[in-house]
Amino acid sequence: MSEVRSKMYRCYALVILLLALSRAYAGTSCEPIWEEDFTGPLDQTTWNVIEGDGCAEGICGWGNNEAQSYDAAGVSIADGVLNLTAYTDGQGEIRSGKLTTAGKHSFQHGYVEARIRLPQGRGLWPAFWMMPEDQQHGWPLEGEIDILEWTGHEPYRLIGAIHFGDLPPDNVHYSETLRAPAVWSNNFHTYGVEWSRERIAWYVNDRIHGVATPAEIAPWPWVFDEKPFYLIVNMAVGGTLGGEVVPQDLPATVEFDWIRVYPEGCRTGLSSP
């Protein structure tokens, strides 16, 4: 083989390698396996509208001493955006919106992200998170993945977390936080989680801000590979993380522009902020 031809083959191999790396690490060629863009009425075949204060499920205050009761009036879609609104009703009770895909759409491993604009107001606690389907052993023995939690009393801080361990009060959680010089509620941002057998990584605007691995939660088992998980979006008020309720800061709305789920590997390796 001539030297010129050898160089050509090496260049060709390098191009192929770079393309493969681009696909594996940037994920630009990956397509969503599921997405919701909220361009029409709420899809009842995908979403469950949650109602009540948790007492019917045996967890009044939704297990966190939350102040709101969920109802359908707290959920709306306008101009291609899902709005979950916390408000005070005519009787002075706090109402809000919550949706899940339980029993309708779930997945196991991959990358899930949403474009979200956070609200402004004290006592607010919006979240984008996942729970396992068909739980049989009680929370949090089969895990919980919190993609995004934010509170109005700490508007510069974002939280990503996983919950595991034994039944309360012996439950355990591992969390990562990201603080910014400006509040997160002024603009839309993308928030995501990469979920694989090796790790769970949290992203903001396509940049990693935290990682959890089986080694980091040992000796507790890595329970996040046992079942598919479904999606949850909600706007809580008050409670153990939301803090003091300030009624004059209501109504307040968290906005979801879109939600997407990608196959495993599509977002691995993006850089830190």
For residue 52, give the 3-state DSSP assignment.
Answer: strand
Q: How many whole angstroms separate alpha carbon 262 and alpha carbon 107?
A: 10
Query: Any catalytic annotation for residue 35?
Result: no
Q: How many whole angstroms separate alpha carbon 162 and alpha carbon 141?
A: 11
Query: Any catalytic annotation for residue 144?
Result: yes
Burial tier of 241 (Cβ tally within 10 Å: 0-12, 13-18, 19+): middle
Residue 34 to residues 198, 223, 262: CA-CA distances in angstroms? 23, 24, 7
Number of H helices, E strands in the chain: 3, 18
Which of 252, 255, 256, 231 lies closest to 96, judged by CA? 252
Q: Of residues 66, 144, 176, 194, which has the active-site annotation?
A: 144
Q: Rounded to the nearest 5 degrees, what angle is found at the Cα of 133, between the Cα atoms of 127 and 137?
A: 100
Q: Of residues 66, 113, 142, 149, which has the active-site annotation?
A: 149
Q: How many whole angstroms separate alpha carbon 169 and alpha carbon 184?
A: 32
> Which residue numbers are catalytic?
144, 149
